[in-house]
């Protein structure tokens, strides 16, 4: 039986990553609570992707520590990857496989077999309203349907935590709205969602946000707390201010 998941699904202390003498992430301290939708935001080059790659066990930190779903990402990265889900803006689907075949493939990757595998695929097909498209090739789906299938694949094994890296990039507004309704239901059921996005209307939907700038944590809190700290009206204003700072630092 898996160990119980602590109240803080992600605990980061002093996390640092250096590439060729340059710190991509510097002394990051952060906690993400179980069941919350947590937004990791910042301009390009702020350290978001590097942070996610460390938390998913894909790269080793230069210093510091990170516990993800109760597992040390440095000593047990493969165990971390089995207990999380991951979805990127590229979706990671196999275009020449059908909707059902994609779900079957990912269920196998995540170690599901036999009756459990069949049960979970049936549940996911129903949850994401994919039954009528079960035999359709993934490559022929619209962007919104690919997005929905990708989320179903990433959560087939019922992970405690899902990383969503720019999951709505290039998707129409109606599909984006439905997508956020889907992940909202997952969070209400206890799943933790860590999401990166450049759509600030989506950032407003997060329970809490962390803003990064040039590898440093600039602020963390609810959207209301963040805007109050920066003395601006919206989360988008915060993003614009950080982008202006970063661009100014490079000139």
Predicted pLDDT of residue 250: 56
- Nearest 5°: CA angle at 74, between 54 and 45? 15
Residue 118 has pLDDT above 50, yes or no: yes
Q: What is the pTM of this model?
A: 0.90
Residue 2 has pLDDT above 80, yes or no: no
**CA 114 to CA 112: how far, in whole Å?**
7
Per-residue pLDDT averaged across 49-57, rounded?
95
How confident is residue 242, by pLDDT bands cut at 50, 70 and 90? confident
How confident is residue 1, by pLDDT bands cut at 50, 70 and 90? very low
Segment 146-194, tens digit of pLDDT: 999 999 999 999 999 999 998 888 888 888 999 999 999 999 999 999 9
Predicted pLDDT of residue 169: 83
Segment 62-115, tens digit of pLDDT: 999 999 999 999 999 999 999 999 998 777 899 999 999 999 999 999 999 999
Per-residue pLDDT averaged across 186-206, rounded?
93
What percent of the chain clears pLDDT 70, i.e. is strictly above it?
96
Predicted pLDDT of residue 15: 97
Least confident residue range of 103-107, 199-203, 208-212, 246-250: 246-250
Residue 4 has pLDDT above 60, yes or no: no
Mean of the per-residue pLDDT values of the chain: 92
**CA 216 to CA 27: how far, in whole Å?**
7
Sheet-wide strand order for 216-221: 84-88, 161-165, 192-196, 37-41, 208-213, 216-221
Residue entry with tokens 């040390």 = 72
Per-residue pLDDT averaged across 241-251, rounded?
72
Using only C-alpha atoms, the chain has a radius of gyration, in whole angstroms, of 18
Q: Please give the backbone phi and psi of residue 98, each rounded to the nearest 5 degrees, phi first.
A: -75, 175
Predicted pLDDT of residue 117: 95
- Please report the domains of the chain, with CATH numbers, ordered by start residue: 8-249 (3.40.50.300)
Segment 23-33, tens digit of pLDDT: 999 999 999 99
**CA 227 to CA 136: how far, in whole Å?**
44
How confident is residue 205, by pLDDT bands cut at 50, 70 and 90? very high
3-state SS, residue 3: coil
């Amino acid at each position: 039986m898996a160990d119980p998941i602590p109240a803080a699904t992600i605990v980061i202390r002093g996390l640092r990553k250096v590439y060729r003498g340059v710190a991509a992430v510097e002394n990051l301290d952060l906690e993400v609570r179980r069941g919350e939708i947590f937004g990791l935001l910042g301009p390009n080059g702020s350290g978001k992707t590097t942070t996610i790659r460390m938390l998913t066990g894909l790269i080793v930190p230069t210093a510091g520590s990170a516990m993800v779903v109760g597992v040390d990402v440095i000593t047990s990265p493969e165990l971390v990857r089995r207990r999380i889900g991951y979805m990127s803006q590229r979706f990671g689907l196999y275009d020449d496989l059908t909707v059902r075949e994609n779900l079957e493939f990912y269920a196998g990757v995540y170690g599901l077999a036999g009756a459990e595998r069949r049960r979970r695929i049936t549940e996911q097909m129903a949850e994401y309203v994919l039954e009528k498209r079960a035999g359709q090739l993934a490559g022929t789906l619209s962007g919104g349907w690919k997005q929905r299938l990708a989320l179903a694949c990433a959560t087939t094994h019922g992970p405690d935590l899902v990383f969503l890296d720019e999951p709505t990039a290039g998707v129409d507004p109606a599909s984006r709205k439905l997508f956020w309704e889907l992940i909202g239901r997952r969070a209400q059921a206890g799943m933790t969602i860590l999401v990166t996005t450049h759509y600030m209307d989506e950032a407003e939907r997060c329970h809490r946000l962390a803003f990064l700038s040039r590898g440093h944590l600039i602020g963390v809190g609810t959207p209301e707390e963040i805007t109050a700290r920066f003395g601006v009206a919206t989360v988008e204003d915060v993003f614009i201010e950080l982008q202006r700072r970063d661009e100014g630092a490079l000139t």
